[in-house]
């Protein structure tokens, strides 16, 4: 964690670069990093959740987590996919295979 203040020039540069990234992601149809694209309970008896998180570069990370997501959980499995759609489809397939 950064404990020192950014100077005005660095802050303006970061703001401008972030705006450019946001614009590029909008044009390409890519979700921002960390956005949850898919979430489903895997079972009713257990606290298992399957979710897909955008990586910010067009791909997705599928995670199977156990516990009280998003507060207190353990990642049981994690897989990366080159597109958000691939990751979401894989998560949906897991959801319907278990149910």
The answer to whether residue 26 is domain-embedded is no
Question: What's the pLDDT tens digit per position in 59-93?
Answer: 999 999 999 888 999 999 999 999 999 999 999 99
Is 19 a member of any domain?
Answer: no
Strands (E), 2-71: 36-41, 48-54, 60-68
- Residue 71 covered by a domain: yes
- What pTM, to 2 d.p., does this model score? 0.82
Q: Please report, for residues 30, 63, 72, 81, 93, the alpha-carbon distance to residue 58 in angstroms, rounded to integers and kept in the order given.
A: 5, 17, 28, 9, 20
DSSP category for residue 34: T
- Residue 24 in any domain: the answer is no
**So what's the pLDDT on residue 95?**
79
Residue 59 exposed, middle or buried by CB count within 10 Å (0-12, 13-18, 19+): middle
Beta partners for residue 54, in sequence order: 60
Per the domain annotation, does 14 fall within a domain? no
Residue 6 placed within a domain: no
Which domain range does residue 72 map to?
Answer: 31-98
Quickly tell me which residue has 């278990």 as its tokens.
98
- Whether 17 maps to a domain, the answer reads no
Q: Does the residue 22 lie in any domain?
A: no
Number of domains in the chain: 1
């Amino acid at each position: 964690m950064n404990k020192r203040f950014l100077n005005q020039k660095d802050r303006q540069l970061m703001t401008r670069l972030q705006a450019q990234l946001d614009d590029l992601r909008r044009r390409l149809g890519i979700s921002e990093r960390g956005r949850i694209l898919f979430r489903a309970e895997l079972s009713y008896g257990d606290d298992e959740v399957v979710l897909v998180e955008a990586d910010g570069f067009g791909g997705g990370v599928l995670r199977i987590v156990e516990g009280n997501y998003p507060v207190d959980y353990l990642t049981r499995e994690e897989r990366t996919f080159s597109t958000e759609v691939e990751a979401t489809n894989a998560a949906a397939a897991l959801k319907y295979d278990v149910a």
